[in-house]
Structure 1
Amino acid sequence: MHKRKLRDLEVSAIGYGCMGLSQGYGSVPERSEAISLIRKAYDIGCTFFDTAERYAMGSNEELVGEALKPIRDKVVIATKFMFEKSNEVNSNEKLLQQIRGHVEASLKRLGTDHIDLYYQHRVNKDIPVEEIAYCMGELIKEGKILGWGQSQSTEDEIRRAHAVTPLTAIQSEFSIMERMFEKDVIPTCEELGIGFVPFSPLANGFLSGKIQADTQYVGVDARRVITRFNKENILANQPLLDLLTRFAELKEATPAQISLGWMLHKKDFIAPIPGSRKLERTQENLRAADIELTDDEFNQIEKELAKIVIHGNRTDADLAKLRDLK
């Protein structure tokens, strides 16, 4: 597995997003199977594993911690904290106290003495990013975290936070279907030496090319509310899948691997974290690191993408609707 640098943190070029092992896409694997998947991902070469305190009410952190315990010193663990409300946070000391509480809880669930990469899951608009950055700096001094990041943040939020405590990475949605951060955030990361970690790099599985227009999703499955999975959008996005399939045949790869290969070719500080609940998909995703597009092939893909209109997306507002569905 090729390696990449997120600022000073070395990770495998492709990581593993572990959320789906506990929630998000319908039924989840048995715990023993999930632990086996994480360990087999490491055997393939993955050293970068992502979780969050919010995933399955903390149980995903517990799962990841148990799975990685035998190889803790050989992997990078990223997790996230989030403030639902920021009431009563009126000083840096109180803010640090609250964040330290989140850190200590995550450390306990993960069964480790430090977190390699600690993200603010979403930026609170009523807490200055400079204050969060100060707290992250204190936690780094204490050795509780090695580096920190933001998720779905703006260029302005990145610059202001980075000026206080340098950011290690930004984790935001990015894929061949969702490129909104190419204009300002990714160039800012390049300028400041910050890593960029795309979540949903395969557009929640859409870019696998295996999604059928008539597939029905039930229960707590994010695809019920993500609009790119509406039947009309699945059909309308066929030109994109045709493009990926054409290059997959050329490179003896899969559409998913071409999607990840395109992303890896774009910038050397990008390290995507696709998730999977099946061993064959995990193997497919991680082995995309070996799919090397030539500059000409990459430029051909970019040229064709410029002609294609993408239908549907994924938003936090839409995901919130899942709570009200039965």
Structure 2
Amino acid sequence: MATASASATLPSLSSLSLHTTTPRLFLSKPTKFFFSKPTRLHLFHPFSSHPTTTLIAKSSDIDTSFFENFNPNDENDTVFNPPEAPEGFVPPKSFDEGPMETEEEIAIAYEELYGPAYSGVSYLGNDIYVMDSKVRKTTGFGSRVKKEKVKDGFEERVVQVRRVTKVVKGGKQLHFRAIVVVGDKQGQVGVGVGKAKEVVTAVQKSAVNARRNIVSVPMTKYLTFPHRSEGDYGAAKVMLRPASPGTGVIAGGAVRIVLEMAGVENALGKQIGSKNALNNARATVVAVQKMRQFSDVARERGIPMEELWK
């Protein structure tokens, strides 16, 4: 049974090409060392159902050679003979032997890599006291400089800045939330919100968000609303009423800011429900979007404006 199992496993081993070679050191007088007893080699077959395969290796198949008369302390046996240099080979100069770079060459190389140094001299014709915009973007230098406001005709008004906290696994993260209303006071207004770790950054983000949500406010020649309207957003509800000339904007909170930035000079506003500034500002925008001019309604119905009140 043992011979049968060994003969069955040999083809599978031959299919895996398990041919190993033993490196040999050829000396003047090699000596062979033989094991006194047969050695069992345990081979692990990765594709076989049996975990191990046992083969018996004969002592005549194992050959081990080693240095017999080698002495590492002997200078004659440890002589190093480097290869000869090829023809025409010129050895390189040492680092300290070559000519030293001048200060001008060093300054030019530095200016090419990092920009002009603040020494008062530029070898490439760059401005010494004005940092290049490319250097700012790549190095991040001057990133905290106050950014110029966008000149697009819109004015900004901050409604509210609150500190908000987000609870995460590692603790609490503190941020600032800013509500900004932008408008040109000619019928265009928008409400935006933004969050950041700094107040200035939060205001800038909310201003950008407000410019993306611009709506048009219909007004008469007396700078008031054409008719009544109501709007709600969440739990906040806002009522808007037109007013006679000279009344002014009688409203409070975020409603007043939205109407002033839109250019409304005579109107009545009332907050009903929630006092949340963001929801009231958005409810005002919803109420404004429901308003329509009388001329537009008459044009859609195909009748003159005089017949709207009949």
> What is the TM-score normalised by the length of structure 1?
0.20
Asked which structure has the greater CA Rg, the reply is 2
Task: Give the alignment's TM-score, normalised by structure 2.
Answer: 0.21
Structure with greater proportional helix content: 1
**Greater per-residue strand proportion:** 2
